[in-house]
Amino acid sequence: MSAGEQGRMYTANIVDTVVFRSLGKHPNPHLDRLKNAVEEAQTEIWVPDLIYEELADHGPDGTVTNPYLDHGIEEGWIRVVSPPQPDDGIGNADKGHIAARAWQEANHILDSHSKYPTTNNRRDGSLVALAVHLFAENKRIRVITHTADELLAKALTIIPSEFGYHEVVSRYYHPPRSAKQTFPTVDSLTWDR
Amino acid sequence: MSYDTDHVQNAGGTPERITGIHAFTDLVDNAALAGLYTTIRSKGTASGPELVDGADVSKKTVYDYLRTLASAGLITDIGEENGATTYAAEDFELTLTVRDVTVSITPALVAVLSHREEHPVIDRVLEEHGLLTFALAHDLVMDHNEGNVTIRQIGDLTGLSSGMSYDLVDAIYTIRDFAETASSPETFTPANVDSDQHDVDVTEE
């Protein structure tokens, strides 16, 4: 987060699984475009650890590799974070961890607006928690999120606002495959575009 | 005459004769047969030569399939045009209930199944999870298009893996041309999403 630390407004881009799936595994030209766009937009891609796990391959010997993310992580333009979970047994939400409370709120909103309320997947909520976590940890930051689920895209704008963080926009890719062309661009990764 | 018995309901007239039940199940297993039925249904009417021209199977196979579909009542001979027999497709719904679980095979489902060779994920879902799961996943993709579920929920509800759920969503969106002309991405902001109603004014990129 070097830009933010230097006093300039930093823009973080939080990206959901489906967007990486539409781009495909490394190496491919779509990931090359993404890397170039990230560099030009002076941003970074942020991913919750649960999303990393969701995209990972688990080898028989216990090794975990991620054909979508590892290359970008090694090069430093993709960052994986573990926002505090609300249900980890130590009462993060009750202790006032704002990201954990945001995660709880995400579960509630996704449940209440879904056609199948009991099936909300905690990975959906982890994206919301990460957004709020980044706001809580950094003063000069804006967040752009990228997903292919309408419900989640709306939750990603509503919930940070409820916690007082309004510098957030959510890009919703519909149909999901449209992300292949429109996500790895400077426009999609940049605020005010 | 109207019937309303345990096994037969009709709104009037003589019930049509239903034979060749295997043709209904063949629509699930045979992409070429499903494609022929779907082509006739999407065109409204089609003649034998027209169908032969657009088919990936031989002329003989096309006419064999037309006989199969006609004998099952899935298509109807509506007369001749330029000396060729012309057909119209009939709507149908085949409902199977086993152990309190009901699955319906409809023309919409058959239309998707007819693309199984272009989208291998359809066969993978059918082979590894069965028709019921495929039909459920298909309907949930419709819900996803309406914004009512997330892709992860499709995986949770069907038992499909994350990767298979995404591949199936992508295949069905492609087959059905969902939102093909819409601008994407749509951008939501705190100002244009109503947190109570989830109504939103969309800013297109």
Reported as a single tens digit per residue, the pLDDT across B137-158 is: 999 999 999 999 999 999 999 9
Spell out the per-residue pLDDT of chain A, length 193, in tens: 544 455 689 999 999 999 999 999 999 999 999 999 999 999 999 999 999 999 999 999 999 999 999 999 999 999 999 999 887 656 555 556 899 999 999 999 998 888 888 777 889 999 999 999 999 999 999 999 999 999 999 999 999 999 999 999 999 999 999 999 999 999 999 997 6
Give the model confidence (pLDDT) of A18-72 as tens digits.
Answer: 999 999 999 999 999 999 999 999 999 999 999 999 999 999 999 999 999 999 9
Query: From the list B147, B180, B189, which residue is nearest A150 (CB)?
Result: B147
ipTM of predicted assembly, 2 dp: 0.90
SS3 category, B166: helix
Q: Is A112 on the interface with B (CB under 8 A)?
A: no
Helix, strand and coil percent figures for chain A, each rounded to 5:
50, 15, 35
| Total domains in the fold of chain A | 1
Q: Which residues, at least 6 apart from A146, have a Cβ–Cβ distance to it below 8 Å?
A: A13, A14, A15, A16, A19, A170, A171, A173, A179, A183, A188, B185
For residue A88, the model assigns a pLDDT of: 60
Q: Where in chain B is the domain with CATH 1.10.10.10?
A: 3-89
Is B149 in CB contact (< 8 Å) with chain A?
yes
pTM: 0.87
Interchain contact B179–A (C-beta under 8 A): yes
CATH of the domain at A132: 3.40.50
CATH annotation of B3-89: 1.10.10.10
Residue A11 belongs to domain spanning: 2-141+149-189
CA distance B42 to chain A (A): 23
Tell me the CA distances in angstroms from A34 to A59, A65, A175, B49, B187, one per residue in order.
27, 20, 19, 49, 19
